Amino acid sequence: MSLPSASSSADSAPTMHFDTDGQWNVTEVQGPAIHAPSWVKNIILDKIRIEFLDISEPNIGFYAKNHIVSAVTFVEPVQFNRRQYVSAHISMELGLWKKVKGINVVSNLMIRPPGEHYHPGVFIVALHNYSTPTHCSVQYHTYALSQGTTVGMLLNAAIKLNMHHFLFLPYTSEGRWKGCGNFMLHFWVVLVCTKVITSNQSKENLNSDLSSDLTLTYLPDGSSTFEHIGRGWWLSWNPIQDNLTPEVVYNKACLMHQSQWCKSLGHQYFCANLYPRKMS
């Protein structure tokens, strides 16, 4: 996931408002989850699939970890503006370059401009007219959902915890960003904890857990390489840390200019038993 470096300073950048920014695109039938219309949130779902998308650019010699998204399929097709939709993607994507209030207070360091030290994310939902894995998907895990689960139930599970108040962090000096796998793993865990996802075992591989698989980068030829999960940063939500999200799967590396900042933030990782659960 990449964008060129930001040229504007933190002072001149607009301020990010995670609960109000953006708008629903009626034409593209997608937008921030906070603005999803009621007819989208009322769609009943069949299953959820965690997809690993190939975003490497071999033509310039850049090989990146997979972009991680979730895809949900509908129990029945829905019609909107004379078009039929059968699935939706729910994911954390790069937003606009905006400064985030509280960064300087939390870090107690110099001003950290967006586009250089962090990039606000946007929790997105987008409807599609196909139910198969995305064309650039190189791996996926499918999970059953409890009967009657709706799009709104999935979105609200994250929004009510302020999980959508999320920042991507840089992991190369060329403006590449990390955090999508981190976010999606914890989104999945919340759904498992609340029994929206009925089992933490995927239909494709009963012996593999999602956190371990996210340490692999899958390539189009079917091969894979090992790479720890890159951390993002939640502004207020404290991620769960348990057997489904073991600390050993995460990358502890920071860029040179990040090292002091990362230490002061402590990645906001705390042990928390937020939800009692039984694993199936």
The predicted-structure confidence for 43-68, as pLDDT tens digits, reads as follows 999 999 999 999 887 777 677 889 99
Q: Is 44 exposed, middle or buried (0-12, 13-18, 19+ CB in 10 A)?
A: middle
Helices (H), the chain: 38-41, 103-107, 151-159, 180-193, 210-213, 259-265
**pTM for this structure?**
0.84
Higher pLDDT, 41 or 262: 41
Strand locations in the chain (E): 30-32, 45-53, 67-80, 83-94, 119-128, 137-144, 166-170, 177-178, 216-218, 224-226, 233-234
pLDDT at 265: 47
The mean pLDDT of 121-145, rounded to a whole number, is 96
- Report the distance separating Cα 224 and Cα 1, nearest Å: 18
In this structure, is the dihedral angle defined by the CA atoms of residues 68, 73, 74 and 79, taken in order, positive or negative?
positive
CB 17 within 8 A of CB 122: no
User: Tokens 């991680």 sit at which residue?
Assistant: 68
- Nearest Cα neighbor of 249 from 175, 189, 177 is 189
- pLDDT band for position 271 (50/70/90)? very low
Would you say residue 258 has pLDDT above 80? no
- Report the distance separating Cα 2 and Cα 89, nearest Å: 20
- Report the distance separating Cα 109 and Cα 223, nearest Å: 42
Contacts of 278 (CB under 8 A, 6+ apart): none
- Report the distance separating Cα 121 and Cα 231, nearest Å: 13
